[in-house]
Amino acid sequence: MTSFIDTSPAICKAVVCILFLVCIESLVCAIMCASYRLKARFTASAYTLLSVSFAFLCMLYNGVLIKEFGYSPDGFVLSAYRMPAVLAIIITVILAILSSLILALSIRRRKSRLTSMSVKDALDKLPVGICFYDETGLPVLMNRKIAQESKIITGKSLFNASVFLKNIDEGNVITGVLVTKSGESSVIKLPNGEIRLYRKNEHKADGKTVYELISEDITEEYLLSSSLSEKNTELAKMNKRLREYGEKVTELTREKEILEAKVRIHDGMGELLLRTKRSLSEKEKYNKESLIDLWEQSIKMLYEAKEDDDSSDEFSDLISAAKDIGVTVSYIGERIPENSVAEILIHAVHECLTNAVRHAKGDRLDVFVSESDTHYEVKIKNNGLPPSSEIVEGGGLSSLRSVTEREGGDMTVISTPEFTLILHVLKDRRL
């Protein structure tokens, strides 16, 4: 039977190479068992296989040295280079199978059982960054996420968590990173736009203090908060403008009521003058006490009414009120006389002004008035945001429609491509 040293050089080299790979595989198994702290039978098997494979490799390699490099056989003791080649191949194959089997079982055991490395692997898969460190700042356990963020924020690896936090507090970060303090926590904006929240917790275990540093992704919450803050600011401004407008409308209503009172006093005084004249010119006897009482009441009403020589018409007051809240009203077309049509116009402008400020956030209102033989056409538009959907008539528009139709007119509301209110009101209708 042919010995290993006498077989072909190709077979010798192949067997030696396979044994070398078996030794490497056995070494990996031994390191894995020791690192993951697997059970003793896995560790013992791995180390035994490593020892046997390495020893057999050395014994067979002696034959290679003698055959290929001319070494003297007398220098090798307990060598296996003269063993049958078939036996050497069989042993090599068995060792290769055993090493592969132990490696597969170790990996399977590693994945199916909790080990000391399972915690580290679980932390590495978390989307948050975690680092546990002692009082000196030395990391005890940290995951891959926070290690990567340390290099992005400070440009350095995380060797000391206390130093890392100090650099964040003092703003010693690379260009493009923004740091904002939020109480005891820090909000950090990374160059890629991601927002991270860093906070520290303290834990006590077995009489020792361990600190926990957590990094969380708050990009969505931060952007929503910023957007909400901007909208609240805009809403506060709009509410202020509406309050100012409401105050102007209240003042306008009060002035209208005063004007109506003056008209009633004027009409009453005219009637009283005619009655007095008729009573004095007539020879018949009249009720003097009743006439005096009427004059006293009229004079009292005159004193109670407030005079305002500089008062303007209601439409001018409405334009002035709109200007005070930052809205310009542009009037183009025919001037409407003081009648029911004018009151409908004022009502329409008031409603459109309110909607322009509240919904469209506009600052301009355009009023177009045209006249035909039978009716007036009033068209009102505003700038700002166009309606997002079909306009549903609420209380204000519904009330305007009722008033317009009661006066014999009609109303049309157009939503696209921009808000437009069109009124047609007959000219010969009067209050």
- Distance, in Å, from the CA atom of 99 to the CA atom of 398, rounded to the nearest integer, reads 88
142-159 pLDDT per residue, tens: 899 999 999 999 988 899
Taking the alpha carbons at both ends of the chain, their separation in whole angstroms is: 132
Confidence of residue 211 (pLDDT cuts 50, 70, 90): very high
**245 compared with 112, residue with greater pLDDT:** 245
**259 compared with 333, residue with greater pLDDT:** 333
Is residue 218 within 8 Å of 224, Cβ to Cβ? no
For residue 368, the model assigns a pLDDT of: 92
The reply to whether 119-222 and 313-431 are identical in fold is: no
Q: What tokens does 411 get?
A: 């109303």
Q: For the residues of 70-113, what is the DSSP string, one character each? A: ---GGG--S--TTSBHHHHHHHHHHHHHHHHHHHHHHHHHHHHS
Write down the domain spans for the chain: 9-113, 119-222, 251-311, 313-431
Residue with tokens 């055959």: 67
Q: Give me the percent of the chain exceeding a pLDDT of 90.
A: 14
CATH architecture assignment, domain 313-431 = 2-Layer Sandwich (3.30)
3-state secondary structure of 273: helix
Is residue 54 within 8 Å of 20, Cβ to Cβ? no
Element (H, E) at 410: strand 410-414
344 by Cβ neighbours in 10 Å (0-12 / 13-18 / 19+) ranks as buried
Is residue 370 within 8 Å of 410, Cβ to Cβ? no
- Distance, in Å, from the CA atom of 410 to the CA atom of 412, rounded to the nearest integer, reads 7
Q: At what angle do helices 161-170 and 144-154 cross, to 10 degrees?
A: 40
Return the amino acid letter for 224.
L
Q: Is the pLDDT of residue 428 over 70?
A: no
Q: Is the pLDDT of residue 267 over 70?
A: no
For residue 367, the model assigns a pLDDT of: 92
For residue 130, the model assigns a pLDDT of: 92
Q: Which of 247-251, 263-267, 340-344 has the highest mean pLDDT?
A: 340-344
122 by Cβ neighbours in 10 Å (0-12 / 13-18 / 19+) ranks as exposed
3-state secondary structure of 367: strand
The residues near 226 (Cβ < 8 Å, ≥ 6 apart) are none
CB count in 10 Å sphere of residue 351: 18
Across 134-234, the runs of DSSP E, i.e. the strands, are: 139-142, 178-182, 185-189, 195-205, 208-217
Q: What is the mean pLDDT of the chain?
A: 79
Q: What tokens does 307 get?
A: 């005079």
**334 compared with 277, residue with greater pLDDT:** 334
Is residue 262 within 8 Å of 304, Cβ to Cβ? no
- Distance, in Å, from the CA atom of 156 to the CA atom of 229, rounded to the nearest integer, reads 35
Residue with tokens 């209102």: 365
- Distance, in Å, from the CA atom of 415 to the CA atom of 388, rounded to the nearest integer, reads 9
Confidence of residue 312 (pLDDT cuts 50, 70, 90): very low
| pTM of the entire predicted model | 0.39
Q: Is the pLDDT of residue 302 over 70?
A: no
Instruction: Return the closest-CA partner of residue 87 out of 2, 148, 144.
Output: 2
Q: Is the pLDDT of residue 422 over 90?
A: yes
The residues near 347 (Cβ < 8 Å, ≥ 6 apart) are 399, 400, 403
Give mean pLDDT, residues 161-175: 90
Instruction: Return the closest-CA partner of residue 173 out of 158, 153, 188, 147.
Output: 153
Confidence of residue 133 (pLDDT cuts 50, 70, 90): very high
Give mean pLDDT, residues 197-218: 89
Domain 119-222 has CATH 1.25.40: no
- Distance, in Å, from the CA atom of 388 to the CA atom of 210, rounded to the nearest integer, reads 55
